[in-house]
Chain A
Amino acid sequence: MTETSSTPHGLSIHIMGVPVLLAVWALLVVGTVVTVVAAGIDFGAFNLWLAMAIATVKASLVALYFMHLRYDRPFNAIVLVGSLLFVMLFIGLALTDTAQYQPEMIPGYSPGMKE
Protein backbone atom coordinates (compact mmCIF):
# COMPACT_ATOMS: atom_id res chain seq x y z
CA MET A 1 0.00 0.00 0.00
CA THR A 2 2.82 2.35 -0.73
CA GLU A 3 3.39 4.46 -3.78
CA THR A 4 6.35 5.74 -5.66
CA SER A 5 6.24 8.98 -7.54
CA SER A 6 8.39 10.51 -10.18
CA THR A 7 8.41 14.27 -10.62
CA PRO A 8 9.12 16.21 -13.80
CA HIS A 9 12.65 16.88 -12.58
CA GLY A 10 13.26 13.18 -12.25
CA LEU A 11 13.12 13.01 -8.44
CA SER A 12 12.12 9.44 -7.77
CA ILE A 13 10.81 9.06 -4.23
CA HIS A 14 8.91 6.62 -2.12
CA ILE A 15 5.70 7.72 -0.40
CA MET A 16 4.38 5.89 2.64
CA GLY A 17 0.75 4.83 2.35
CA VAL A 18 -1.64 5.98 5.07
CA PRO A 19 -2.73 2.40 5.98
CA VAL A 20 0.92 1.42 6.54
CA LEU A 21 1.48 4.47 8.76
CA LEU A 22 -1.62 3.68 10.80
CA ALA A 23 -0.68 0.00 11.10
CA VAL A 24 2.81 0.89 12.35
CA TRP A 25 1.29 3.35 14.83
CA ALA A 26 -1.11 0.67 16.12
CA LEU A 27 1.75 -1.83 16.53
CA LEU A 28 3.76 0.77 18.47
CA VAL A 29 0.82 1.39 20.82
CA VAL A 30 0.40 -2.38 21.32
CA GLY A 31 4.17 -2.65 21.96
CA THR A 32 3.97 0.05 24.64
CA VAL A 33 1.07 -1.70 26.38
CA VAL A 34 2.93 -5.04 26.21
CA THR A 35 6.06 -3.45 27.78
CA VAL A 36 4.05 -1.97 30.65
CA VAL A 37 2.17 -5.25 31.27
CA ALA A 38 5.35 -7.36 31.02
CA ALA A 39 7.09 -5.07 33.52
CA GLY A 40 4.38 -5.95 36.05
CA ILE A 41 5.31 -9.63 35.85
CA ASP A 42 8.58 -10.78 37.37
CA PHE A 43 10.67 -12.88 34.99
CA GLY A 44 13.78 -12.53 37.15
CA ALA A 45 16.96 -11.82 35.21
CA PHE A 46 14.96 -12.05 31.98
CA ASN A 47 13.11 -8.74 32.75
CA LEU A 48 15.80 -6.54 31.22
CA TRP A 49 16.18 -8.62 28.07
CA LEU A 50 12.44 -8.82 27.49
CA ALA A 51 12.05 -5.04 27.85
CA MET A 52 15.00 -4.43 25.52
CA ALA A 53 13.65 -6.91 22.96
CA ILE A 54 10.26 -5.16 22.85
CA ALA A 55 11.94 -1.75 22.65
CA THR A 56 14.11 -2.95 19.77
CA VAL A 57 11.08 -4.24 17.85
CA LYS A 58 9.39 -0.85 18.36
CA ALA A 59 12.53 1.05 17.38
CA SER A 60 12.90 -1.08 14.23
CA LEU A 61 9.32 -0.28 13.22
CA VAL A 62 9.98 3.44 13.63
CA ALA A 63 13.25 3.25 11.69
CA LEU A 64 11.99 1.03 8.86
CA TYR A 65 8.66 2.73 8.18
CA PHE A 66 8.40 6.17 9.82
CA MET A 67 12.03 6.90 8.90
CA HIS A 68 11.68 5.24 5.48
CA LEU A 69 14.81 3.13 5.93
CA ARG A 70 13.23 0.10 4.29
CA TYR A 71 12.77 2.04 1.06
CA ASP A 72 15.88 4.22 1.24
CA ARG A 73 19.29 3.65 -0.19
CA PRO A 74 20.93 0.92 1.92
CA PHE A 75 23.82 3.20 2.83
CA ASN A 76 21.59 5.17 5.24
CA ALA A 77 20.77 1.94 7.06
CA ILE A 78 24.47 1.07 7.17
CA VAL A 79 25.16 4.41 8.89
CA LEU A 80 22.50 3.70 11.53
CA VAL A 81 23.48 0.06 12.14
CA GLY A 82 27.16 1.08 12.16
CA SER A 83 26.55 3.65 14.91
CA LEU A 84 24.62 1.06 16.92
CA LEU A 85 27.51 -1.42 16.60
CA PHE A 86 29.85 1.19 18.06
CA VAL A 87 27.39 1.84 20.90
CA MET A 88 27.37 -1.89 21.69
CA LEU A 89 31.17 -2.01 21.56
CA PHE A 90 31.38 1.02 23.87
CA ILE A 91 28.93 -0.28 26.46
CA GLY A 92 30.13 -3.88 26.16
CA LEU A 93 33.77 -2.98 26.81
CA ALA A 94 32.84 -0.64 29.66
CA LEU A 95 30.84 -3.43 31.32
CA THR A 96 33.64 -5.95 30.79
CA ASP A 97 36.01 -3.49 32.43
CA THR A 98 33.86 -2.66 35.43
CA ALA A 99 33.27 -6.38 36.03
CA GLN A 100 36.99 -6.78 36.67
CA TYR A 101 36.84 -4.71 39.84
CA GLN A 102 35.44 -7.35 42.15
CA PRO A 103 35.08 -6.27 45.78
CA GLU A 104 37.20 -9.15 47.09
CA MET A 105 40.19 -7.43 45.50
CA ILE A 106 39.74 -4.49 47.86
CA PRO A 107 39.54 -5.66 51.48
CA GLY A 108 36.81 -3.91 53.41
CA TYR A 109 35.13 -2.63 50.30
CA SER A 110 32.03 -4.73 50.86
CA PRO A 111 31.09 -5.07 54.52
CA GLY A 112 27.90 -6.86 53.47
CA MET A 113 30.01 -9.91 52.61
CA LYS A 114 31.12 -12.63 54.96
CA GLU A 115 34.88 -12.80 55.13
Chain B
Amino acid sequence: MSTHEHPDYLGHHFETPQQQYDSSKLGMWLFLATEILLFAGLFCAYSVYRSNHPEIFVYAHQYLDKTLGGINTLVLICSSLTMAWAVRSAQTNQRRGLILLLSMTLLFGCCFLGIKYVEYEQKWKHGLLWGKRFHPHTEETRSHEKTAPSAVPPAIASQPAPVAPPPPTGEDRSLIEAAPRGPAGLAAGAIEERKPGHEGSRPSNVQIFFGIYFLMTGLHGLHVIGGMSVIGWLLVRSVKGHFTSEYFTPVDLGGLYWHLVDLIWIYLFPLLYLIG
Protein backbone atom coordinates (compact mmCIF):
# COMPACT_ATOMS: atom_id res chain seq x y z
CA MET B 1 0.00 0.00 0.00
CA SER B 2 2.88 2.36 0.60
CA THR B 3 3.67 2.60 -3.09
CA HIS B 4 0.27 3.97 -4.11
CA GLU B 5 -0.05 7.35 -5.79
CA HIS B 6 -0.58 10.26 -3.43
CA PRO B 7 -2.62 12.97 -5.20
CA ASP B 8 -2.26 16.69 -4.32
CA TYR B 9 -5.65 16.99 -2.64
CA LEU B 10 -5.02 14.00 -0.36
CA GLY B 11 -3.92 14.96 3.15
CA HIS B 12 -0.69 13.26 4.19
CA HIS B 13 -2.45 11.71 7.18
CA PHE B 14 -4.94 9.87 5.01
CA GLU B 15 -4.25 6.54 3.41
CA THR B 16 -6.65 6.83 0.48
CA PRO B 17 -8.99 9.44 -1.07
CA GLN B 18 -11.89 7.24 0.04
CA GLN B 19 -10.79 7.41 3.66
CA GLN B 20 -10.38 11.19 3.42
CA TYR B 21 -13.80 11.58 1.79
CA ASP B 22 -15.60 9.41 4.36
CA SER B 23 -13.88 11.15 7.26
CA SER B 24 -14.75 14.61 5.93
CA LYS B 25 -18.35 13.61 5.53
CA LEU B 26 -18.59 12.16 9.01
CA GLY B 27 -17.05 15.35 10.41
CA MET B 28 -19.61 17.42 8.55
CA TRP B 29 -22.47 15.32 9.88
CA LEU B 30 -21.18 15.75 13.43
CA PHE B 31 -21.12 19.52 12.86
CA LEU B 32 -24.67 19.40 11.47
CA ALA B 33 -25.77 17.51 14.61
CA THR B 34 -24.45 20.38 16.75
CA GLU B 35 -26.33 22.83 14.51
CA ILE B 36 -29.55 20.88 15.10
CA LEU B 37 -28.94 21.02 18.85
CA LEU B 38 -28.31 24.77 18.62
CA PHE B 39 -31.71 25.28 17.01
CA ALA B 40 -33.25 22.80 19.50
CA GLY B 41 -32.92 25.42 22.24
CA LEU B 42 -35.17 27.78 20.30
CA PHE B 43 -37.58 25.00 19.34
CA CYS B 44 -37.77 24.15 23.04
CA ALA B 45 -38.60 27.77 23.94
CA TYR B 46 -41.28 27.69 21.27
CA SER B 47 -42.78 24.43 22.58
CA VAL B 48 -42.85 25.47 26.22
CA TYR B 49 -44.31 28.89 25.51
CA ARG B 50 -46.86 27.50 23.10
CA SER B 51 -48.00 24.77 25.49
CA ASN B 52 -48.53 27.35 28.24
CA HIS B 53 -50.09 30.11 26.15
CA PRO B 54 -51.71 28.71 22.99
CA GLU B 55 -53.98 31.78 22.79
CA ILE B 56 -50.99 34.01 22.04
CA PHE B 57 -50.00 31.84 19.08
CA VAL B 58 -53.59 31.71 17.80
CA TYR B 59 -53.70 35.50 18.00
CA ALA B 60 -50.23 36.41 16.77
CA HIS B 61 -49.64 34.04 13.88
CA GLN B 62 -52.26 35.87 11.80
CA TYR B 63 -49.84 38.80 11.56
CA LEU B 64 -47.26 36.73 9.71
CA ASP B 65 -47.50 36.82 5.93
CA LYS B 66 -48.39 33.26 4.86
CA THR B 67 -47.95 34.06 1.16
CA LEU B 68 -44.42 35.41 1.53
CA GLY B 69 -43.54 32.57 3.91
CA GLY B 70 -44.88 30.01 1.43
CA ILE B 71 -42.98 31.57 -1.48
CA ASN B 72 -39.82 31.51 0.62
CA THR B 73 -40.35 27.82 1.34
CA LEU B 74 -40.57 27.12 -2.39
CA VAL B 75 -37.49 29.28 -3.04
CA LEU B 76 -35.48 27.24 -0.53
CA ILE B 77 -36.71 23.95 -2.00
CA CYS B 78 -35.63 25.11 -5.47
CA SER B 79 -32.24 26.14 -4.08
CA SER B 80 -31.86 22.69 -2.53
CA LEU B 81 -32.54 21.11 -5.91
CA THR B 82 -29.92 23.24 -7.67
CA MET B 83 -27.43 22.54 -4.86
CA ALA B 84 -27.96 18.75 -5.04
CA TRP B 85 -27.63 19.01 -8.82
CA ALA B 86 -24.44 21.04 -8.42
CA VAL B 87 -22.93 18.19 -6.37
CA ARG B 88 -23.85 15.81 -9.18
CA SER B 89 -22.20 18.12 -11.72
CA ALA B 90 -19.01 18.19 -9.67
CA GLN B 91 -19.03 14.40 -9.38
CA THR B 92 -19.46 14.03 -13.14
CA ASN B 93 -16.81 16.60 -14.09
CA GLN B 94 -19.29 19.08 -15.60
CA ARG B 95 -17.53 22.32 -14.71
CA ARG B 96 -19.89 24.66 -16.59
CA GLY B 97 -22.92 22.94 -15.06
CA LEU B 98 -21.39 23.25 -11.62
CA ILE B 99 -20.78 26.99 -12.07
CA LEU B 100 -24.29 27.56 -13.40
CA LEU B 101 -26.00 25.54 -10.65
CA LEU B 102 -23.97 27.13 -7.84
CA SER B 103 -24.84 30.57 -9.23
CA MET B 104 -28.52 29.63 -9.30
CA THR B 105 -28.35 28.41 -5.70
CA LEU B 106 -26.74 31.70 -4.70
CA LEU B 107 -29.47 33.60 -6.55
CA PHE B 108 -32.22 31.64 -4.74
CA GLY B 109 -30.47 32.44 -1.46
CA CYS B 110 -30.52 36.17 -2.32
CA CYS B 111 -34.18 35.83 -3.23
CA PHE B 112 -34.94 34.24 0.16
CA LEU B 113 -33.16 37.02 2.04
CA GLY B 114 -34.89 39.69 -0.06
CA ILE B 115 -38.32 38.31 0.79
CA LYS B 116 -37.29 37.97 4.43
CA TYR B 117 -36.26 41.65 4.38
CA VAL B 118 -39.70 42.66 3.06
CA GLU B 119 -41.35 40.65 5.86
CA TYR B 120 -39.12 42.13 8.59
CA GLU B 121 -39.74 45.63 7.25
CA GLN B 122 -43.51 45.12 7.50
CA LYS B 123 -43.19 43.88 11.08
CA TRP B 124 -41.00 46.89 11.87
CA LYS B 125 -43.52 49.33 10.36
CA HIS B 126 -46.39 47.79 12.31
CA GLY B 127 -44.43 47.71 15.56
CA LEU B 128 -44.71 43.93 15.77
CA LEU B 129 -41.38 43.46 17.49
CA TRP B 130 -39.88 41.80 20.52
CA GLY B 131 -40.06 42.80 24.19
CA LYS B 132 -40.37 46.52 24.94
CA ARG B 133 -40.27 47.40 21.26
CA PHE B 134 -43.69 45.79 20.77
CA HIS B 135 -46.03 48.68 19.89
CA PRO B 136 -48.60 47.17 17.54
CA HIS B 137 -50.68 49.50 15.42
CA THR B 138 -51.75 47.28 12.57
CA GLU B 139 -55.53 47.85 12.77
CA GLU B 140 -55.01 51.57 13.02
CA THR B 141 -52.57 51.49 10.13
CA ARG B 142 -54.98 49.54 7.97
CA SER B 143 -57.86 51.96 8.55
CA HIS B 144 -55.58 54.92 7.93
CA GLU B 145 -54.31 53.40 4.72
CA LYS B 146 -57.88 53.45 3.37
CA THR B 147 -58.27 57.17 4.04
CA ALA B 148 -54.76 58.60 3.91
CA PRO B 149 -52.35 56.05 2.48
CA SER B 150 -49.13 57.86 3.31
CA ALA B 151 -49.44 59.24 6.81
CA VAL B 152 -49.37 57.17 9.97
CA PRO B 153 -49.84 59.56 12.89
CA PRO B 154 -46.75 59.55 15.09
CA ALA B 155 -49.06 59.49 18.10
CA ILE B 156 -50.04 55.93 17.27
CA ALA B 157 -46.51 54.85 16.68
CA SER B 158 -45.47 56.15 20.07
CA GLN B 159 -48.37 54.59 21.99
CA PRO B 160 -47.12 52.77 25.06
CA ALA B 161 -47.55 49.01 25.25
CA PRO B 162 -50.71 47.93 27.06
CA VAL B 163 -50.19 47.37 30.75
CA ALA B 164 -51.19 44.01 32.22
CA PRO B 165 -54.08 44.12 34.69
CA PRO B 166 -52.98 44.61 38.32
CA PRO B 167 -52.62 41.44 40.35
CA PRO B 168 -55.44 40.59 42.70
CA THR B 169 -54.96 41.70 46.28
CA GLY B 170 -55.64 39.84 49.50
CA GLU B 171 -53.77 37.76 51.97
CA ASP B 172 -53.99 34.51 50.03
CA ARG B 173 -52.95 36.05 46.75
CA SER B 174 -49.56 35.44 45.26
CA LEU B 175 -47.29 38.32 44.47
CA ILE B 176 -46.78 36.89 40.98
CA GLU B 177 -48.26 39.16 38.39
CA ALA B 178 -51.61 37.95 37.10
CA ALA B 179 -51.78 36.21 33.76
CA PRO B 180 -54.85 37.18 31.78
CA ARG B 181 -55.78 33.57 31.17
CA GLY B 182 -54.77 30.21 32.54
CA PRO B 183 -52.87 27.67 30.49
CA ALA B 184 -54.50 25.40 27.96
CA GLY B 185 -57.52 23.44 29.07
CA LEU B 186 -58.19 25.45 32.22
CA ALA B 187 -59.15 28.48 30.23
CA ALA B 188 -60.44 26.74 27.13
CA GLY B 189 -63.50 28.98 26.97
CA ALA B 190 -61.34 32.04 27.19
CA ILE B 191 -59.33 31.04 24.13
CA GLU B 192 -62.46 30.99 21.98
CA GLU B 193 -63.37 34.60 22.68
CA ARG B 194 -59.83 35.68 21.84
CA LYS B 195 -59.93 34.41 18.27
CA PRO B 196 -58.86 36.98 15.64
CA GLY B 197 -61.48 39.47 14.60
CA HIS B 198 -62.42 40.61 18.08
CA GLU B 199 -61.01 44.10 18.20
CA GLY B 200 -59.20 45.05 21.34
CA SER B 201 -59.07 41.47 22.62
CA ARG B 202 -55.32 41.06 22.29
CA PRO B 203 -53.92 38.66 24.88
CA SER B 204 -51.07 39.89 27.05
CA ASN B 205 -47.44 39.14 26.28
CA VAL B 206 -47.86 38.82 22.51
CA GLN B 207 -44.40 40.38 22.29
CA ILE B 208 -42.94 37.05 23.40
CA PHE B 209 -44.30 35.40 20.26
CA PHE B 210 -42.50 38.00 18.18
CA GLY B 211 -39.38 37.54 20.26
CA ILE B 212 -39.45 33.83 19.42
CA TYR B 213 -40.29 34.60 15.79
CA PHE B 214 -37.38 37.00 15.32
CA LEU B 215 -34.91 34.77 17.15
CA MET B 216 -35.80 31.65 15.18
CA THR B 217 -36.03 33.28 11.74
CA GLY B 218 -33.07 35.54 12.56
CA LEU B 219 -30.80 32.65 13.50
CA HIS B 220 -32.01 30.81 10.41
CA GLY B 221 -31.32 33.93 8.32
CA LEU B 222 -27.76 34.08 9.67
CA HIS B 223 -27.33 30.47 8.58
CA VAL B 224 -28.60 31.37 5.11
CA ILE B 225 -25.96 34.12 4.94
CA GLY B 226 -23.34 31.62 6.14
CA GLY B 227 -24.42 29.07 3.56
CA MET B 228 -24.34 31.71 0.81
CA SER B 229 -20.80 32.69 1.78
CA VAL B 230 -19.74 29.05 1.49
CA ILE B 231 -21.47 28.73 -1.90
CA GLY B 232 -19.76 31.94 -3.06
CA TRP B 233 -16.40 30.46 -2.08
CA LEU B 234 -17.26 27.20 -3.87
CA LEU B 235 -18.23 29.23 -6.93
CA VAL B 236 -14.84 30.98 -7.03
CA ARG B 237 -13.03 27.68 -6.66
CA SER B 238 -15.13 25.97 -9.32
CA VAL B 239 -14.40 28.84 -11.75
CA LYS B 240 -10.71 28.19 -11.03
CA GLY B 241 -11.36 24.54 -11.87
CA HIS B 242 -10.42 23.13 -8.48
CA PHE B 243 -13.14 20.48 -8.45
CA THR B 244 -13.15 17.26 -10.41
CA SER B 245 -14.80 13.88 -10.14
CA GLU B 246 -11.69 12.92 -8.15
CA TYR B 247 -12.05 15.73 -5.64
CA PHE B 248 -15.40 17.40 -4.97
CA THR B 249 -15.60 17.09 -1.16
CA PRO B 250 -16.05 20.85 -0.48
CA VAL B 251 -19.01 21.02 -2.88
CA ASP B 252 -20.56 17.98 -1.22
CA LEU B 253 -20.11 19.30 2.31
CA GLY B 254 -21.24 22.84 1.43
CA GLY B 255 -24.31 21.21 -0.07
CA LEU B 256 -25.00 19.31 3.15
CA TYR B 257 -24.89 22.59 5.08
CA TRP B 258 -27.25 24.28 2.62
CA HIS B 259 -29.71 21.37 2.82
CA LEU B 260 -29.71 21.58 6.62
CA VAL B 261 -30.71 25.24 6.38
CA ASP B 262 -33.58 24.15 4.12
CA LEU B 263 -34.49 21.36 6.54
CA ILE B 264 -34.83 23.75 9.48
CA TRP B 265 -37.01 26.09 7.43
CA ILE B 266 -39.28 23.15 6.54
CA TYR B 267 -40.17 23.01 10.27
CA LEU B 268 -40.11 26.75 10.97
CA PHE B 269 -42.60 27.62 8.24
CA PRO B 270 -45.61 25.59 9.52
CA LEU B 271 -44.75 26.16 13.20
CA LEU B 272 -44.62 29.95 12.94
CA TYR B 273 -46.79 30.89 9.97
CA LEU B 274 -49.43 28.23 9.63
CA ILE B 275 -50.64 26.69 12.87
CA GLY B 276 -52.31 28.97 15.32
Given contacts A25-B77, A29-B74, A107-B174, A66 and B259 within 8 Å (CB-CB): yes
Determine whether the beta carbon of B48 is less than 8 Å from that of A98.
Answer: yes
- How many angstroms from the CA of A103 to the CA of B165 in the assembled complex? 17
Say which residue of B33, B70, B91, B259 sits within 8 Å of A32 (CB atoms): B70
Interface size of A as a range: 35 or more
* Neighbouring A residues of B21 by C-beta, 8 Å: 11, 13
B120 on the A face (CB < 8 A): no
Beta-carbon contacts under 8 Å, B4-35 to A: 5, 7, 10, 16-18, 21-22, 25-26, 29-30, 32-34
Stretch at the interface among B134-142, B179-187, B214-222, B234-242: B179-187
* Neighbouring A residues of B5 by C-beta, 8 Å: 9
A-B contact count (CB 8 A): 192
Chain B residue nearest to A54 (CB atoms) is: B270
Say which residue of B17, B40, B84 sits within 8 Å of A66 (CB atoms): B84
Determine whether the beta carbon of B74 is less than 8 Å from that of A110.
Answer: no
* Neighbouring A residues of B48 by C-beta, 8 Å: 94-95, 98
* Neighbouring A residues of B183 by C-beta, 8 Å: 102-103, 110
Which DSSP category, helix, strand, loop or mixed, fits chain A's interface?
helix
Say which residue of A7, A9, A25, A51 sits within 8 Å of B270 (CB atoms): A51
Beta-carbon contacts under 8 Å, A58-83 to B: 58-59, 62-63, 65-68, 72-73, 75-76, 79-80, 82-83
Interface size of B as a range: 35 or more
* Neighbouring A residues of B80 by C-beta, 8 Å: 25, 28, 62, 66
Determine whether the beta carbon of B77 is less than 8 Å from that of A28.
Answer: yes
Given contacts A7-B246, A25-B78, A55-B270, A83 and B33 within 8 Å (CB-CB): yes
* Neighbouring A residues of B167 by C-beta, 8 Å: 108
Say which residue of B7, B34, B174, B187 sits within 8 Å of A9 (CB atoms): B7
Determine whether the beta carbon of A62 is less than 8 Å from that of B271.
Answer: no
**Closest-CB distance, A25 to chain B (whole angstroms):** 4
Determine whether the beta carbon of A113 is less than 8 Å from that of B186.
Answer: yes
* Chain B 30-60 per-residue mask, 1 if CB under 8 angstroms from chain A, else 0: 1011101100100110011001100000000
**Closest-CB distance, B189 to chain A (whole angstroms):** 9
Determine whether the beta carbon of A58 is less than 8 Å from that of B18.
Answer: no
* Neighbouring A residues of B34 by C-beta, 8 Å: 83
* Neighbouring B residues of A82 by C-beta, 8 Å: 33
Determine whether the beta carbon of A108 is less than 8 Å from that of B178.
Answer: yes
**CB within 8 Å of B: which residues of A?**
5, 7-13, 15-16, 18, 21-22, 24-25, 28-29, 32, 35-36, 39, 47-48, 51-52, 54-55, 58-59, 62-63, 65-68, 72-73, 75-76, 79-80, 82-84, 86-87, 90-91, 94-95, 98-99, 102-104, 106-113
**CB within 8 Å of A: which residues of B?**
5, 7, 10, 16-18, 21-22, 25-26, 29-30, 32-34, 36-37, 40, 43-44, 47-48, 51-52, 66, 70, 73-74, 77-78, 80-81, 83-85, 87-88, 91-92, 165, 167-168, 170, 172-174, 176, 178-183, 186-187, 190, 245-246, 252, 255-256, 259-260, 262-263, 266-267, 269-271, 274-275
A55-B266, A55-B267 are known contacts; what are 18 more A-B pairs with Cβ within 8 Å?
A9-B246, A15-B88, A25-B77, A25-B81, A29-B77, A35-B274, A48-B275, A52-B267, A59-B267, A66-B262, A80-B32, A87-B36, A87-B40, A106-B174, A109-B178, A109-B179, A110-B178, A111-B168
